[in-house]
Amino acid sequence: MTTTFTFRSQAVSLVRALFFIGGFVFLLNGCTTNETANENTMDSLETDIRAIVASYDSATVSVSILDTANGQELHMDGDRLYHAASTMKIPVMIELFRQAELGRFSLDDEVVLKNEFRSIVDGSLFSIEDDSDDAIYEHLGQPMSLRQLGYNMITVSSNLATNLLMDYLSADSVQNTSERLGTTHMQTIRGVEDLKAFDLGMSNQATSHDLATLLERLRTGTAVSPASDSLMRGFLGDQFFNAMIPSGLPGGTRVAHKTGSITKIHHDAAIVYPANGEPYIIVIMVEGITDSDISSELGASIARLVHERLRGAA
């Protein structure tokens, strides 16, 4: 009887072991299958994005997508450096909120508006000559809160507000925080319209991958804190310039984003909140197109394609 019992026990143990191994292999195969499917989806999407780009003469484009809800990620030439234009204002905003969170100042503290800045080349003075925030210049010599400066910097891309904040925070602190959050290539070394620096090639630079990294931090509440990140997403959600990514998306889609443009440069970096479905990150960086209407059309076409693939047509 003892022998029979032992044999049966061993048989049961063997069956259980085989069942466990089989289930484990099945799970592994399932994971591999899902990963392969995601890779195939992203490969196909990249092929179709490149086909869109190829129809625009002289366009160089990078696209980064982070869809963590579905485990999908794409970085099409994601580490190529571009002139950052006004996308550099994203890390400036993050550093503003970080220092406020540390108690170094309050966002309600004020600075006096001035249009006088020093070049990083030789310390010579320069002024902002070109700005999308006309209204702020009516208040030169008057105080404005750091919160309002940050809001203007993002929503109407105020160059004056940006330089005032860069002087207040320091470029080094902005860069250091950006790197701590996971960026590996982008450089934020100065404010805007420092023409002496520009002529020497000393400009802020960004990649689609790094901008996507910062936006994902903001989306998940891990850039500064859940409360501060929520406020920053609110700034991005009030963006005034919506000709690129938002114009390619279905009605009812919320977009928290920051654009950037100079001659032959047009970028848009966004957190997309579909009406039905989980949010995702998309960053589009375009170089080589002079007409901003055409570069906007290109970006909108890419955004439309990406949204249809990730979340379905409207």
List, as one string, the DSSP characters of 11-61: HHHHHHHHHHHHHHHHHHHHHHHHHHHHHHHHHHHHHHHHHHHHTSTT-EE
CA nearest to 130, candidates 166, 91, 157: 157
- Spans of all domains in the chain: 38-311
Sequence-distant (6+) residues with CB within 8 A of 13 are none
Query: Given this model, what pLDDT does residue 15 score?
Result: 42
List, as one string, the DSSP characters of 119-164: -TTT--EE-----S-GGGGGGTTSEEEHHHHHHHHHHS--HHHHHH
Would you say 75 and 45 are in contact if contact means Cβ atoms under 8 Å apart?
no
Query: Given this model, what pLDDT does residue 214 score?
Result: 98
Radius of gyration of the chain (CA): 24
Tokens of 152: 């203007």
pTM of the model: 0.88
Give the pLDDT confidence of 112-139 residue by residue, as tens digits: 999 999 999 999 999 999 899 999 999 9
Per-residue pLDDT of the chain (314 residues; tens, 9 = 90+): 444 434 344 544 544 544 444 554 444 455 455 566 567 789 899 999 999 999 999 999 999 999 999 999 999 999 999 999 999 999 999 999 999 999 999 999 999 999 999 999 999 999 999 899 999 999 999 999 999 999 999 999 999 999 999 999 999 999 999 999 999 999 999 999 999 999 999 999 999 999 999 999 999 999 999 999 999 999 999 999 999 999 999 999 999 999 999 999 999 999 999 998 999 999 999 999 999 999 999 999 999 999 999 998 65
Query: Given this model, what pLDDT does residue 36 score?
Result: 60
Query: Given this model, what pLDDT does residue 41 score?
Result: 83
Query: Given this model, what pLDDT does residue 161 score?
Result: 97
Give the pLDDT confidence of 231-254 residue by residue, as tens digits: 999 999 999 999 999 999 999 999
Any idea what DSSP says for residue 191?
-
Distance CA 238, CA 152 (A): 10
Query: Given this model, what pLDDT does residue 40 score?
Result: 76
Contacts 24+ apart (CB under 8 A), 96-99: 96/146, 96/150, 96/165, 96/169, 97/150, 97/223, 97/224, 97/228, 97/229, 97/231, 97/232, 98/177, 98/223, 98/224, 98/228, 99/169, 99/173
Class for the domain spanning 38-311 = alpha beta
Cβ neighbours of 184 (radius 10 Å): 11
